[in-house]
Amino acid sequence: MKLGEIKKPLPEKLVIAFIYKENEIYNKVRKILTEKFDNIDFESEELEFNYTDYYNNEIGNNLKRRFASFEKLIQPDNLSKIKIMTNEIEQQFLYENTKNRKINIDPGILSLSKFILATTKNYSHRIYIGDGIFAEVTLKYEDKKFVAFEWTYPDYATETYRKILEKIREIYKEQIKTL
């Protein structure tokens, strides 16, 4: 058996998922993120977020979800730093005199074979990637589509979300042809 060669992985696609109530807050955060990560090359339509009431006490009712991907590819080992940065951005948008966020910002990375989300919460299927951050393979790409695992959040398991990520994957696939 031949020894595996250690090499740097291909850069991956930064995808950020947002949960929010107010469009004004989303637009402000979007502007901050484009200043940090450059141009957005895909932005989903605004979707209703009604898969759980987990965020209702903190952010409010009638929540919305949106996805954005960034043109500039990143090295996967930057995911923990990006999650810390997005948590810091969330802290800039709190309801007055509370610790409640007005927006939830979830960064992830997309490759040809998978979509990974970063989180501060540990669980059996999550891997520690440093700086207090864990990574979860949320979806795998198999038979020309993204497929959920038993632990995948119910909204990410929906055809709507998977189709959005498949569109982003097509953009990424074209990008890496030039590397």
Please check whether residue 110 lies inside any domain of the structure. yes
| Residue 58 backbone dihedrals phi, psi, to 5 degrees | -90, -50
User: 136 near 142, Cβ under 8 Å?
Assistant: no
Helix, strand, or coil (residue 138)? strand
Tell me the pLDDT tens digit for each residue of 55-107: 999 999 999 999 999 999 999 999 999 999 999 999 999 999 999 999 999 99
Please check whether residue 158 lies inside any domain of the structure. yes
Please check whether residue 2 lies inside any domain of the structure. no
* Structural domain span for residue 53: 13-176
145/127 Cα distance (integer angstroms): 24
Place of tokens 């952010």: 59
Please check whether residue 35 lies inside any domain of the structure. yes
Please check whether residue 63 lies inside any domain of the structure. yes
Question: DSSP of 16-28, one letter per residue?
Answer: EEEEES-HHHHHH
Please check whether residue 1 lies inside any domain of the structure. no
Please check whether residue 5 lies inside any domain of the structure. no
Please check whether residue 49 lies inside any domain of the structure. yes
Tell me the pLDDT tens digit for each residue of 140-166: 999 999 999 999 999 999 999 999 999
Number of domains observed in the structure of the chain: 1
Q: What is the pTM of this model?
A: 0.95
